[in-house]
Amino acid sequence: MELIDVHAHLNYEGLIERIDEVISKCKLVGVKVIITQGTEPKGNREVLELSKKYDIVKPALGFYPTHIAEYSDEDIENELNFISNSDCIVIGEVGLDYFQGKNHEHKDNLTDEVKNRMIKYFKKLIQISIDKDIPIIVHSRKAELDTIEVLEEMKAKKVVMHCYSGKKKYLQRMIDNGWSFSIPTNVERALHFHYIIKVVPLNKLFTETDAPFLAPIKNEINDSSNVIVVIKKIAEIKQLDEEEVANNIFLNYQKLFL
């Protein structure tokens, strides 16, 4: 079986300390591609290093929405230049995040100004993906409608909605736009993904881990070898053979990313 993880954070704590072991383990179970996501300037460089060192690691560079507030316009513009001139194969992780949970970055400060700045740079990152003609991996939390409208306004085509947990009523609109969805490894306990698997055609589905987060078993450290769990769930829900699901998802990768 050829497996793919379109969304992981291999440079994060929990994985980076034992990265050789993690990569070997993934290769052993048939993982052929791990797209690892940059979320800020330091992370973007770490992602590029990892992709040079390990053949199965592919670089996605981006600016995570909640990090935008932590950097000056000048710093962000510099980083956008760096991303534009890099040889990343994906733009990610980018998007919009309006969540204000207890320990979340936006707990007290989600002003219109903060939101507008997030949107401004999300647009610029989308434009980079369009100029480079590469896919964009999109995070959206409590901001689905704005995320969809911005992507539509920019006429982004190669869109992968990562871990979409927004309202069901927007799903058909995104499917009609031709966008794809990546399903994470916590799929067994996150029931809304069962619905997404059901309604999204197989040729628009991807497997992901968001490792080290979203492990199949809550609070364990996740890694890309677990994507098999998602293959099994898609096979079960769509009543297909696991091998067939894995082959189709690998084909989806070749079509959109190569």
Positions touching Zn ion (CB under 5 A) are 93, 210
Closest separation in Å from C-beta 247 to Zn ion:
26
Place of tokens 């490792």: 211
Closest separation in Å from C-beta 162 to Zn ion:
6
Closest separation in Å from C-beta 96 to Zn ion:
14
Contacts 24+ apart (CB under 8 A), 197-201: 197/233, 197/234, 197/237, 197/238, 198/237, 198/238, 199/171, 199/172, 199/175, 200/171, 200/175, 201/175
Q: Residue 93 or 144: which CB sits closer to Zn ion? A: 93
Q: Residue 214 or 231: which CB sits closer to Zn ion? A: 214
185 DSSP 8-state letter:
T
Closest separation in Å from C-beta 176 to Zn ion:
26
Closest separation in Å from C-beta 66 to Zn ion:
11
**Containing H/E element for 176?**
helix 171-176
**Count of other CB atoms within 10 angstroms of residue 127:** 15
Q: Residue 93 or 223: which CB sits closer to Zn ion? A: 93
Closest separation in Å from C-beta 112 to Zn ion:
26
Measured at the CA of 142, the angle between CA 139 and CA 130, to 5 degrees, comes to: 35
Closest separation in Å from C-beta 163 to Zn ion:
7
Q: Residue 79 or 208: which CB sits closer to Zn ion? A: 208
Q: Is the dihedral of CA 213, 217, 222, 228 positive or negative?
A: negative
212 DSSP 8-state letter:
T
In one-letter notation, the amino acid at residue 115 is: K
Q: Residue 40 or 210: which CB sits closer to Zn ion? A: 210
Q: Residue 35 or 228: which CB sits closer to Zn ion? A: 35
142 DSSP 8-state letter:
S
- Which residues are CB-neighbours of 236 under 8 A, at least 6 positions away? none
242/240 Cα distance (integer angstroms): 6
Q: Residue 10 or 248: which CB sits closer to Zn ion? A: 10
